[in-house]
Chains A and B, each alone.
Chain A
């Protein structure tokens, strides 16, 4: 049955696995990043391959169309500049009112754009890796979002890459509130491993008055996610544990399966 060589292989592999298991998390984290960096040449190749059709399309785009696009962008830019002036005035007024009331003033978010480079190959986690790391000022637990809404938080940071746990992963629990008069608060947690668009909204009060279509935002509690980031919409709700509390399903605003670029909030504690 077993030959000498097979015994040796069995022992060596089992010993190696045990050794890796017994390493402290910090060391395994560094090891993971080192092994992951073996894939860097392939990432570069994949980027170049993806970029090639876009470059080709750029080279054949007519000049007239490019000029029209520039014109449209210029107008949009002017509109945003006017809105920025108006918002700056509102922000000044808001700051003055904050100062009068003695409230802590809010600073604008510092955002950094990141590309999603890989998705978790295992089906039992919801994570992605982004192409920013500690050299770009990324730190653990920084919120990650898109223009549509919250994506997740930074879980581990390497020098050039970081791992982001997405909403719906067991490691990413978010305190959230409903945009209704009672501002019902609960916890966004994992739901089903297959459907990426739905999450559970649990630990809501038994008297919570949720209605389908109500928006859900981060509550700002917990010290990780700033208040007011859109998460999704209430799909339905039901009382659980004999009406002790309410549970709801929330449809996320973002499509987690189609993430390509995300924003990392570098100064989350100072956010709104």
Chain B
């Protein structure tokens, strides 16, 4: 496992949670805030191991709940559920295909809020729900889908900028060398 990947993912998750709590532009115009943690979870599940997925679920969930009126820890399980599901099957997913990423980003962005609300209702809390919640769910799902390619592009750029470049293979092969004699 590459620790740079884990650190970058956690740092982006921290900044994403802060941005969601302090930049209400999307909420002002569309009536709902887009959550970037499910998208990050898709990226982590496709490109890293279960430890990074677990760390993102625990820390991301705790950071989110700390700035929210959610009971502490309620966001951990939905994030981990989605992440571990993808992580277990990531060898069967065409992770380099943009469409596959988009579908996973959409499903994760739609599934995580639903699971969180179900957990809240199970815990006896009364979240603010109504017909408008369907619109909010659509905005969250569509927003997550739109953010998925951006998140993948951001991390690709980050690794190119901060990581080691892969060593390029030389075209020289000793077995194909033409040895010239004196004549």
Contact = CB atoms under 8 A, between A and B. Distances in A.
Given A28-B72, A119-B22, A155-B69, A126 B128 contact: yes
Given A21-B123, A124-B133, A9 B67 contact: no
Contacts of A126: 128
Given A1-B88, A193-B136, A120 B51 contact: no
Contact of B63 (A38, A155, A163, A195): A38
Interface in A124-139: 124-127, 129
A170 B51 contact: no
Contact of B50 (A1, A5, A155, A165): A5
B151 interface: no
Given A17-B77, A20-B73, A9 B127 contact: no
Contacts of B113: 123
Contact of A122 (B57, B68, B123): B68
A17 B128 contact: no
B163 interface: no
A247 interface: no
Contact of A193 (B58, B116, B132): B132
B66 interface: yes
Contact of B51 (A9, A163, A171): A9
A117 B22 contact: yes
B87 A6 contact: yes
B139 to A, nearest CB: 8
B106 to A, nearest CB: 17
Nearest to B72: A28
A118 B22 contact: yes
A21 B71 CA distance: 8
Contacts of A119: 21-22, 24, 27
A169 B116 CA distance: 18
Interface stretch (B28-36, B94-102, B153-161, B168-176): B28-36
Contacts of A31: 72
B123 A163 contact: no
Contact of A257 (B24, B127, B129): B24
Interface residues of A, number: 51
Nearest to B17: A121
A121 B68 contact: yes
Nearest to A257: B28
Contacts of B117: 124
B88 A121 contact: no
B53 interface: yes
Contacts of B80: 10, 13-14, 17
Contacts of A6: 50, 84, 87-88
A112 B125 CA distance: 31
A93 interface: no
B43 interface: no
B76 A118 contact: no
B54 interface: yes
Contacts of B88: 1-2, 6
A46 interface: yes
Contact of A123 (B17, B72, B136): B136
Contacts of B31: 193-195
B140 to A, nearest CB: 7
Contacts of B71: 21, 28
Interface of A: 1-2, 5-6, 9-10, 12-14, 16-17, 20-21, 23, 28, 31-33, 35-36, 38-39, 42-43, 46, 117-127, 129, 155, 163, 165, 168-171, 190-195, 257
5 contacts: A35-B65, A36-B66, A36-B67, A42-B18, A123-B133
Given A36-B66, A42-B15, 15 more contacts: A6-B50, A17-B77, A20-B76, A32-B66, A35-B62, A39-B18, A118-B21, A120-B21, A121-B17, A125-B69, A170-B127, A193-B128, A194-B31, A194-B135, A257-B28
